[in-house]
Amino acid sequence: MKIVFLTNSTSNSSFFDILSKSGIGEILQTSVENFRENQQDFRHASVLLLEGEVTFIQHFLSTPLTNPLPYPFVAVISNPKDIQISDYEAISTNTSIRNVEIVFATDSITEIQFRIAKSIREYKSLQFRNEVIILKDQVLAIIAHDLKNVFVGLQGLSKNLTLMTEGLDEDTIEYFSLLESGIDQGYLLLINLLEWSKLQSGQSVLKFKQSSLKEIIDQNVSLLYPMSFKKSQDVISEIDDSIQVFCDTNMVSSVIRNIMNNAMKFTPEYGKITITAENKPSENSVTISISDTGIGIAEDQIKKLFFTDSTETTAGTSGELGTGLGLLLCKDLIQRNGGTFWVKSSLGQGTSFFFTVPINSSK
């Protein structure tokens, strides 16, 4: 074990002498200033120890390092009697350095050795999990790229089949229609899985810009027109031309498509889907609602909509398949855009989904 031991350069450390005699491993003692200036020289260490009073440790943590720390950090507090609960929380929850372990210089050397070894094990475990996640995401990206091409081909083929119905019986026509719907839902599931994976792994980068809400809504209504046309549904957009929003338009579009897809799926033929927006400049937000005249959702089911361990799906009014991830993704996307997401519904009375997005970048 190779330990980098930092102290205030103006003082000697009796704790360092005790640690050196314990046989814990190779100890490299240096000043905070030297460590910051030559951080790369210590990149092969196992752990970083910083000894000092609470204020000294907090000052170190308040100034970000030039490079991320590639091993755990152990804070050795020399004045444990003076530490307050707020000080303890500030150090242990610091976001500039992960895996912060706190020990006291007055603890037994056996306890300190155990805590140092524990922090190293936890760091290596976390590092391994992160490497597995990165590998998983790389494999997923390769598979998804190939699957997207397959789905695009299948979508084109299925749409051609639904147009070639002359002379076919009703059962065959219905089969072609269900085939097209199943392929479209499979493609939506693939897109949702990709987006969800990017969000969870931190690969999805938000690109905020000022946009016309009406243009965003109209583009997505147009994309989903074939689905509403097939069920003779009316899609009514009541969005004022003047409403502007500050958001990642791709993410918000994904939310709109998922909600509208659900609305069309669970609304019977000749039903109605209405999109409205309430501008609230004083709150720097716009509340968008997408309401349908569909079958509605039972109260006990509403509570399960946004939990990852409950992704059961219900078939639509024409037997359409569900993905089970759409609403989880919607809530996550809206929260990342600084908004909130909720639903109101009752069985037989239709469903209304609501979400907010900022009007501009300042709050």
Using one digit for the tens of pLDDT, what is the confidence trace for 210-264?
999 999 999 889 878 878 888 999 999 999 999 999 999 988 998 998 899 899 9
The architecture that CATH gives domain 2-107 is 3-Layer(aba) Sandwich (3.40)
Between residues 195 and 168, the one the model is more confident about: 168
Region of 94 please: left (phi>0), alpha (psi -120 to 50) or beta.
Answer: beta
**Range 206-363 has CATH code 3.30.565.10:** yes
- Give the three-state DSSP class for 290: strand
Residue with tokens 């000052």: 59
pLDDT of residue 321: 47
CA-based nearest residue to 24, from 57, 47, 52: 47
Question: Tell me, what's the pLDDT at 323?
Answer: 46
Mean per-residue pLDDT over the chain, rounded: 82
Question: Rounded to an integer, what distance in angstroms lies between the CA atom of residue 153 and that of residue 151?
Answer: 5
Task: Map out the domains of the chain as residue ranges.
Answer: 2-107, 128-204, 206-363
Least confident of 44-53, 165-174, 271-280, 315-324: 315-324
In this prediction, residue 147 has a pLDDT band, given cuts at 50, 70 and 90, of confident
Structure letter (DSSP) for residue 281: G
pLDDT at res. 313: 57
Q: How confident is the model at residue 284 (pLDDT cuts 50, 70, 90)?
A: very high
Q: Per-residue pLDDT for 132 more than 50? A: yes
The pLDDT-based confidence of 171 (bands split at 50, 70, 90) is: confident
User: Once rounded to an integer, what is the mean pLDDT over residues 74-82?
Assistant: 80
Greater model confidence, 320 or 109: 109
Tokens of 173: 């026509």
User: What's the pLDDT at 286?
Assistant: 96
Q: How confident is the model at residue 172 (pLDDT cuts 50, 70, 90)?
A: confident
Closest CA to 254 of 306, 219, 209, 286: 219
Segment 119-138 shows an average pLDDT of: 80
Task: Provide the Cα torsion 161, 255, 325, 141; round to 10°.
Answer: 80
- Reported residue count of the chain is 363
